[in-house]
Amino acid sequence: MTLSVTLSVNGVRRDVTLEDPRVTLLDLLRERLDLVGTKKGCDRGQCGACTVLVDGRRINSCLALAASYDGADIVTIEGLAKGDLLDPVQAAFIAHDGFQCGFCTPGQIMSAVGLINEGEAGDDPDRVREGMSGNLCRCGAHAGIVEAVLDAQKQLQQRRVA
């Protein structure tokens, strides 16, 4: 069966025809739209490498059936920077060495953006760790990741106040 899906991806309208409904949002982004920043790690919702924002909320795109997301607003790692200007969360990951090999990093950063949007972690490292527990890093860069998230959140708060 053929299905038409219209998405807004990083602010751009994308019309995609699916020949088969067995397509996840992750595979649609990577295989059909060539947005390969979003990674396929476990493909079972356990590692978080595929994290994207859907209507402002972080989700695992590997467990989302693309057909069900017709009309959704998607933001991927490719949509964060404004030209050469990095998003504050991206910059904080670099400043705090929040990665080693980099494979999990797009998912970590999208998850961190989602966590900051949710607004519940504050400046509590325990709440950041708990809020980021859906993103695994096999290199073990978690300490830097927690620092990066706390720092990015602080910068974004200061920016809002100013």
Partner 1 sequence: MNPFDYIRPASVAEAVAAAAEPGAAYLAAGTNLLDLMKVGAMRPGRLVDVRHLPGLDRIETLSDGSFRIGSMVRNADLARDAGFAAAFPAVAEALLSGASAQLRNVATVGGNVMQRTRCAYFQDPASACNKRNPGSGCDALEGENRTHAVLGWSGSCIATHPSDFCVSLVAFDAVVEIVGPAGTREVPLEEFHLLPGTTPERECVLEAGELIVALRLPSDAGRFAANQRYLKLRERTSFAFALVSATAALDIEDGTIRSARLALGGVAAKPWRAHAAEAQLQGAAPGVEAFEQAARAALADAMPSGANAFKIELARRVVNRALLLAAAGTPERMPAMPASAFSSVPGVLSHV
For partner 1, the binding residues (CB under 8 A) are 1, 3, 20-22, 24, 43-45, 48, 51, 54, 57-60, 63-65, 67-68, 111, 114-115, 118, 120, 124, 126-127, 129-135
Which candidate, 141, 143, 150, 37, places its Cα nearest to that of 88?
A: 150
Q: What is the smallest separation between the CB atom of 58 and partner 1, expressed in angstroms? A: 5
Closer residue to partner 1 in complex, CB, 45/95: 45
Closer residue to partner 1 in complex, CB, 21/102: 21
Closer residue to partner 1 in complex, CB, 35/116: 116
Q: What is the smallest separation between the CB atom of 42 and partner 1, expressed in angstroms? A: 10
**Please, what is the angle between helix 88-95 and helix 142-161, to 10°?**
140
Amino acid at 50: C
Sheet hosting strand 3-9, strand order edge to edge? 12-18, 3-9, 73-75, 51-54, 57-60
Q: What is the smallest separation between the CB atom of 11 and partner 1, expressed in angstroms? A: 21
Q: How far apart are CA 62 and CA 154, in angstroms?
A: 31
Return the exposure string of 123-146: e unless at least 16 CB atoms fall within 10 Å of the residue's CB, then b: eeeeebeebbebbbbeeebbebbb
Q: What is the smallest separation between the CB atom of 84 and partner 1, expressed in angstroms? A: 29
Q: What is the smallest separation between the CB atom of 128 and partner 1, expressed in angstroms? A: 9
| SS3 of residue 125 by DSSP | helix
Closer residue to partner 1 in complex, CB, 22/154: 22
Closer residue to partner 1 in complex, CB, 46/157: 46
